[in-house]
C-alpha cells in the first residue's frame, strides 16, 4: 500500500489515472494534455506501473496503458476504518443544527394550548 500512496502523491500521476479511467491511451496521448516530454511522462508511468495502478499492453506497437484499480480498492478499504470519524462529525453537526433550529422556532401550538388552560 506504501507504493500505491507514493504513486498517488503527485498531481500529474493522479491526472494520468483520471485520463486512463476513460479508456486506454498511448504515452503520446498521455503527454499531450500535460505538455510534458515523452521521457517525463514515461517516468511517471513507470512509477504507476510499479505500484500496479496501470498495466501496459505488450501486443500493440504503441503499447497502450490501461488503468488497474485493485490497489485503489485496497487503499479505499484501508480508509474505511476512519470513515466513522467523519460520519460522527457530521452526526454532531446535525445534532447541533437540530438544537439551534429548535431554539430558533417560535412557541409551538401545543405549548400555547397549555398556556390557555392555565388562564
CA dist., res. 50 & res. 85, Å (int): 32
CA dist., res. 29 & res. 12, Å (int): 14
Q: Which of 46, 78, 92, 112 binds its own copies (CB under 8 A)?
A: 78
Q: Does 6 bind its own copies (CB under 8 A)?
A: yes
Q: Does 39 bind its own copies (CB under 8 A)?
A: no
Q: Does 11 bind its own copies (CB under 8 A)?
A: yes
> In sequence order, which residues have a C-beta less than 8 Å from that of residue 32 and are 6 or more positions away?
none
8 Å CB contact between 56 and 41 = no
Q: Does 5 bind its own copies (CB under 8 A)?
A: yes
Nearer to its own copies, 76 or 96 (CB): 76
Helices 38-50 and 27-34: crossing angle in degrees, nearest 10, is: 110
Q: Which of 39, 85, 102, 113 binds its own copies (CB under 8 A)?
A: 85
Binding residues for its own copies (CB under 8 A): 1-3, 5-6, 8-11, 14, 17-18, 21, 67, 69-70, 72-73, 75-76, 78-83, 85-86, 89
Amino acid at each position: 500500500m506504501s507504493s500505491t500512496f507514493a504513486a498517488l502523491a503527485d498531481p500529474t500521476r493522479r491526472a494520468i489515472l483520471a485520463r486512463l479511467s476513460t479508456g486506454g491511451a498511448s504515452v503520446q496521448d498521455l503527454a499531450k494534455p500535460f505538455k510534458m516530454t515523452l521521457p517525463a511522462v514515461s517516468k511517471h508511468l513507470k512509477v504507476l506501473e510499479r505500484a500496479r495502478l496501470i498495466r501496459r499492453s505488450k501486443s500493440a506497437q504503441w503499447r497502450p496503458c490501461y488503468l488497474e484499480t485493485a490497489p485503489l480498492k485496497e487503499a479505499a478499504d484501508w480508509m474505511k476504518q476512519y470513515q466513522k470519524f467523519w460520519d460522527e462529525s457530521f452526526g454532531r453537526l446535525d445534532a447541533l443544527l437540530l438544537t439551534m433550529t429548535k431554539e430558533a422556532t417560535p412557541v409551538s401550538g401545543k405549548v400555547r394550548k397549555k398556556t390557555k388552560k392555565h388562564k
